[in-house]
């Protein structure tokens, strides 16, 4: 009887460890996805960012917006992640990033805040952005 209780406790510990590891993995993947998405925007790869990270419901509009910004001569010079929050219960995340940019022919650098809503799609095991691009004026 004592042996079965020890076995049950051992099984419970392994099960809890596996669950904790899964959340940690999702959180780490969230951080990697946030950094990768914002790096793509920084390096003028908005179309790639859209195809990779934007939720399919918003992708078409996002790609149109990215094409308009490219035609306007948008250049992102830097970005900073101001805050990043993973919400395990909802399998979602909120990010606030800041982008420094200029739009040709002006060489005046401006800054815009960009609030990003992220969601984890369990069926494909990927993080996707549920918000469009910020307004670059």
Quick one: which of 127, 62, 59 has its CA closest to 93? 127
Single pTM value for the model:
0.81
Q: Does the residue 14 lie in any domain?
A: yes
Q: Does the residue 86 lie in any domain?
A: yes
Strand, helix or coil for residue 121: strand
Q: Does the residue 137 lie in any domain?
A: no
The separation between the first and the last C-alpha atoms of the chain, rounded to the nearest angstrom, is 72
Q: Does the residue 135 lie in any domain?
A: no
Q: Does the residue 75 lie in any domain?
A: yes
Residues in the chain with pLDDT values less than 70:
1-23
Q: Does the residue 136 lie in any domain?
A: no
Q: What is the pLDDT of residue 17?
A: 39
Give the count of domains, the chain.
Answer: 1
Q: What is the pLDDT of residue 8?
A: 43
Structural domain range at position 24: 2-129
Residues in the chain: 137
Q: Does the residue 117 lie in any domain?
A: yes
């Amino acid at each position: 009887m004592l042996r079965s209780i020890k076995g049950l406790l051992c099984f419970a510990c392994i099960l809890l460890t596996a669950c904790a590891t899964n959340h940690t993995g999702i959180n780490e993947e969230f951080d990697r996805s946030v950094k990768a998405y914002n790096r793509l925007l920084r390096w003028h790869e908005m179309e790639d960012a859209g195809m990779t990270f934007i939720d399919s419901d918003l992708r078409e509009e996002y790609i149109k917006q990215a094409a308009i910004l490219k035609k306007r001569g948008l250049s992102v010079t830097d970005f900073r992640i101001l805050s990043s929050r993973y919400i395990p219960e909802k399998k979602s995340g909120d990010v606030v990033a800041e982008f420094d940019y200029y739009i040709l022919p002006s060489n005046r650098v401006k800054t815009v805040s960009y609030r990003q809503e992220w969601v984890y799609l369990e069926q494909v095991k990927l993080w996707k952005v549920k918000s469009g691009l910020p307004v670059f004026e």
